[in-house]
Structure 1
Amino acid sequence: MQETELYTVFQTLGISLLLGLLVGMQRELQDTRIAGFRTFAIVTLFGTISAYLAEAYSPLILGFGLLGVITIIVVGNVMKMKSGSTEFGMTTEISLLLMFGVGAYLTMGPWIIGAAIAGSTAILLQIKPQLRGALARLDEKDIKAIMQFVLITFIILPILPNQTFGPFEVFNPQRTWLLVVLITGISLGGYLVYKFMGDRAGTALGGMLGGIISSTATTVSYSKITARAPTGALHAAVVIIIASAMVYPRIAIEILVMAPDYFYQMIWPVAIMFVVSVGVSWFAYRQVKKSSHSMPEQRNPSELSTALTFGAVYVTILFVITATTEYLGSEALYLVAGISGLADMDAITLSVSQKVQNQTIEVSLGWKLILTALISNTIFKFAIIRLIGGKTIAGHVLPAFSVVAVAALLLILFA
C-alpha cells in the first residue's frame, strides 16, 4: 500500500471514529442502555472496516457485518426485557444501523456527506422534546397543508410533461407547476411560522407573517376585524402596511428564479421600493408598537384548488403578454400589468421575468411593468379596505399607500 493510500485509510478511520463519538455522546447523555459513547464509535468503525474488507475480498462481508450489528441489537433488547425495563423504542437501534452505514459510506463517498448525515442524526436525537412540542402545535388541518404541498411537489410535478403546448407555445406544464410549487412553498413557510408564533406575534411580526402568506388575504382579514371592532382600526392599518411591504422580498425571489441573468438590472427599483415601504412601515409601527393583538386565522395556502387557480392565472397572463406584444406592441403591456396586478403580484411578476429572461421584452420595460402592477395592487387593496373596513382604517392606510404608489410612479416615469 502506497503512502498516500495509507494516509487516506487512516483519515477515513479517524473521521469514522469522530462521527461515531459524536452520535454516541448524544446517546450517552440520554442514558440509553442499548448503546452509548463507545458502542456507537465502535459500530461506525466496524462499518468502515467491513466496507474495506468487502472491497478487497467479497461484498458479502459488508452484509455479514450488518447482520452482526442487527444480531447485537436484538440480543441487547432481549436482555433489556429480561431486566424488567419498560422503556421501549427503536431510535437508538435505528441510529446504530445508520452509523454502521455511515462508516461504510466513508470508504466510497465524500466524507462531508457522511459528516452531514451524522451531524443531522445527532441534532435530530437531541431536539426530540422540541420536535414533540412543535408537533403538538399542529392540528389535522396543518398536517393536511403539509401533505398537500408534498402532493403538488413530489407527486404531480414529476409526472407533468416538460414541453410547450398551445398558441405561441407559452404553456409548459412542468415549468408552470414548478412555479406553483415555488409560490406555494413561500406561503406555506409563512403559514407554518404563523402556526407556531401567530398567537404571540406582535404587530410587526404579525404583518410580516401575513405578508409572506398573502398580503391581499391579510388586508381582507384585518379589514373585516376593523368592521367588527372599529377601535382597533389603527393597529389593523399598521399590520396591513407592514404586510404590503413583504411583497418585495417575494418579488425579488421570483425575479431571481425566472430571470437570473438579469436579476441585478431588475432588482434595483424593487430594492428602492422596499426601502420606501420599510420606512413607511416603521413610521406607522411607531404609533402602535406597544400594543399586542393576535393574528386572525389564516387559510391553508397549499390547497390544490389554490394551486390550480394560480397556475391558470399565470398561464393566462403569460399568453396575454405574448399576444399583446405580438399584435398591439409593448406599450399596451402597461394595461395588461395594471389589470393583472389588481388581485395578485406573483403571476405577473413571474410572467414578466420569464419574458425578460427570454429577451422577449426589455429589462427596463420588465421592471416598469412590475411596478405598474404594484400600483394597481395597492389601489385594489385600498378599495378592499375602504369597502370592508370602513372610513377610519382607510384614513390610516391612505398616507402610506399614497407614498408607495407615488414612489413607484416616479420610478416608472423618470428612472
Structure 2
Amino acid sequence: MLIDNAHWLNLAVALGIGLLIGAERERSKADGGDRTIAGVRTFTIASLLGAVSTSVNFWLLVVSIICVTVFVATAYFTRRDEDPGLTTEISLVFTVILGGLAMTTASMAASLAVAAAILLAAKEPIHGFVRGVVTKDEMIDFLILAAATLIVLPLVPNALVGPFDAINPRNLWLIVILVMFIGALGHLALRLLGSRTGLPLVGLVSGFISSIATIGAMGARVRKTPDLIGTAVAGATLSSLSTVLQLVMLLAAIHPPTLHALKVPLLFGGLTIALYGLVITLNSFNHQSQELSKPSRSFSVKTALTLALVIAVVLIASAALKAWFGQAGLVVASAVAGLADVHASTISAASLAASNKITAANAAVPILVAFSANALSKVITAAVTGGKVFFQQVTLGLVLQVSAIWLGWWLF
C-alpha cells in the first residue's frame, strides 16, 4: 500500500482527535476523583485503531467498532453501580468512528472532535442551565418550536391554493414559526436582562411580541403607579421601534424587493421613534422601575396560529379586492386589517408581490397604510389605558414616526 504525505496528515489528525478527547476525559476523571474505563492513552489508541482499520479495509473498521462497543458494554455492566453514566463509554466508541473518518474527511472529523470535547468539558454549565435555569414550560415551548420547524414544515405543501390562488400553506406555516421564534427571543431577553433594568428595555423586547399589548400594559402600569410615567412612556414608545424592526425581518424573509422599496420610509420611521424613545428614556432614568412579572411561557401557540388564520383571511380578501377593484381595493383591505395587526397586512402584500400578482412598489403603499392604521389603534389604546399625560406623550411619538415614514416615501 502506497503511503503519501496526505495519508500521514490524516493519521496525524486521528492522533490529535484521540489526544483531544482523551485529555478532556482524563481531566474529568481527575476532577471527579473516580476511575472511568478510559483516559488519554485509551482514547488516543482508539482513534488510531479507527484510522488504521479504515486504511486497511472498511469492514475491518466495522469489526473494530463492534469490538470496542462490546468492550465498553462489558466494562459498563461490571461497574454500573459505581458509575451509572454512559458518557465516557459512548465517547470512546465515537472516537473510533472519528479516527476512521479522519482518513477520508479530516476537516469534518476534526470539527466533530472539537465539538465533542466542548460538550464533554461543558458538563456542569449545561446541566446547571437545563436543571436550574430552563423551566418546564420553556422546555415544552422549545420542543414545540423544534417540532414545528423540523417535523411539520417539511410536510406542508409549497403551492398556491384556495380562492384566487392567494394562500401558500408553507409560507403561512413559516409565519407561525417566525412568530413563535420572535416570541422566544423576546422571552429570552427578558430572562437575561431582567425587568428591573427598566421599562424601556422591557418595552423594546415586548414590542416584538405585540406593540399594542405593550402599550396597553405600560398604560395600566401608569394607572397603578403614576410615578412610573417616564419609564412607561419610554417602554411604550420603543415598542413601536420593535414594530419597524419586525417588519424589516418579515419583508427580508418573504420578499426582499418589497423591503428595498420601503427601506427609506422604514429607516426614517425607525430613526425617528428611536431618537424620541432615547430622549424619553434619558429623562426617565431618575425614576426607579418596579419589578414586572415575567411570562412563564416563551410564546403563545394560539397567538401564532390566530395570526396565521388572520393572514389567510387577509390574503384572500386582498386578492379578491385586488381582482375586483385593483390597487384601491388592496389599500382598503390593508387599512382595515392594519387596525388589528400590521404584520398580517404586511405579509399579505409582500406575498402578493412575491407571487408576481403585484409589483414591489404597489405592495409598499398598502403596507404603509396598514402601519398608519395600526398606529391609530396604538393611540386609542394609550388613551384608554394610561390617562391624559401618557396618551399625549405616546401619541406625539407615534405621530412623529408615521409622519417620518410618509415623508420618506414622498421624498424617495
TM-score under structure 2 length normalisation: 0.87
Name the structure 2 match of 1:343. 340
Name the structure 1 match of 2:24. 26
**Aligned residues of 2:203 and 2:239 also touching (Cα < 8 A):** yes
* Range moving further from structure 2, 214-223 or 377-386: 214-223
In structure 2, do the counterparts of structure 1 residues 294 and 281 end up closer, same or farther at CA, with 3 Å as the change threshold? same
The amino acid that maps onto 1:132 is: H
**Is 2:370 the counterpart of 1:373?**
yes
User: How far did residue 177 of structure 1 move?
Assistant: 1.0
Name the structure 2 match of 1:66. 65
The amino acid that maps onto 1:312 is: L
**Is 2:323 the counterpart of 1:326?**
yes
Name the structure 1 match of 2:10. 12
Structure 2 counterparts to residues 2-401 of structure 1, below 5 A = 6-31=4-29, 33-34=35-36, 35-55=38-58, 59=59, 61-74=60-73, 76-77=75-76, 86-109=82-105, 111-135=106-130, 136-199=132-195, 201-261=197-257, 263-289=259-285, 291-298=288-295, 300=297, 302-401=299-398
| CA distance in 2: counterparts of 1:228 and 1:23, whole angstroms | 58
Q: Deviations over 1:99-119 (max 9, x none)?
A: 32222333444x443333223
The amino acid that maps onto 2:321 is: T
Q: Deviations over 1:137-189 (max 9, x none)?
A: 22222222222223322333233333332211122223321221122212222
**Aligned residues of 2:138 and 2:298 also touching (Cα < 8 A):** no
The amino acid that maps onto 1:238 is: A
In structure 2, do the counterparts of structure 1 residues 69 and 201 end up closer, same or farther at CA, with 3 Å as the change threshold? farther
| CA distance in 1: counterparts of 2:296 and 2:370, whole angstroms | 24
Quote the RMSD (CA, aligned, Å). 2.7
In structure 2, do the counterparts of structure 1 residues 114 and 205 end up closer, same or farther at CA, with 3 Å as the change threshold? farther
Q: Deviations over 1:84-127 (max 9, x none)?
A: x8454222222222232222333444x44333322322222233
The amino acid that maps onto 2:19 is: L
**Aligned residues of 1:375 and 1:408 also touching (Cα < 8 A):** no
**Aligned residues of 2:212 and 2:377 also touching (Cα < 8 A):** no
**Aligned residues of 1:230 and 1:392 also touching (Cα < 8 A):** no
Q: Which runs of 5+ in 2 are unaligned?
A: none
| CA distance in 2: counterparts of 1:287 and 1:338, whole angstroms | 35
| CA distance in 1: counterparts of 2:114 and 2:285, whole angstroms | 40
User: How far did residue 405 of structure 1 move?
Assistant: 1.6
| CA distance in 2: counterparts of 1:131 and 1:313, whole angstroms | 39
| CA distance in 2: counterparts of 1:201 and 1:100, whole angstroms | 50
| CA distance in 2: counterparts of 1:403 and 1:192, whole angstroms | 30
In structure 2, do the counterparts of structure 1 residues 343 and 102 end up closer, same or farther at CA, with 3 Å as the change threshold? farther
SS of residue paired to 2:295: coil
The amino acid that maps onto 1:62 is: L
| CA distance in 1: counterparts of 2:82 and 2:110, whole angstroms | 33
SS of residue paired to 1:226: helix
Q: How many residues are treated as equivalent by the alignment?
A: 405
In structure 2, do the counterparts of structure 1 residues 307 and 288 end up closer, same or farther at CA, with 3 Å as the change threshold? same
In structure 2, do the counterparts of structure 1 residues 31 and 239 end up closer, same or farther at CA, with 3 Å as the change threshold? same
**Aligned residues of 2:196 and 2:291 also touching (Cα < 8 A):** yes
**Aligned residues of 1:162 and 1:173 also touching (Cα < 8 A):** yes
| CA distance in 2: counterparts of 1:261 and 1:398, whole angstroms | 31
User: How far did residue 407 of structure 1 move?
Assistant: 0.8
SS of residue paired to 2:141: helix
Give the % identical residues. 25
In structure 2, do the counterparts of structure 1 residues 389 and 134 end up closer, same or farther at CA, with 3 Å as the change threshold? farther
**Aligned residues of 2:160 and 2:167 also touching (Cα < 8 A):** yes
Match for 1:405 among 399, 402, 405?
402
The amino acid that maps onto 1:139 is: T
The amino acid that maps onto 2:374 is: N
SS of residue paired to 1:31: helix
In structure 2, do the counterparts of structure 1 residues 262 and 400 end up closer, same or farther at CA, with 3 Å as the change threshold? closer
In structure 2, do the counterparts of structure 1 residues 203 and 225 end up closer, same or farther at CA, with 3 Å as the change threshold? closer
| CA distance in 2: counterparts of 1:10 and 1:19, whole angstroms | 14
* Range moving further from structure 2, 262-271 or 309-318: 262-271
In structure 2, do the counterparts of structure 1 residues 46 and 279 end up closer, same or farther at CA, with 3 Å as the change threshold? farther
User: How far did residue 373 of structure 1 move?
Assistant: 1.8
**Aligned residues of 1:266 and 1:366 also touching (Cα < 8 A):** no
The amino acid that maps onto 1:64 is: V
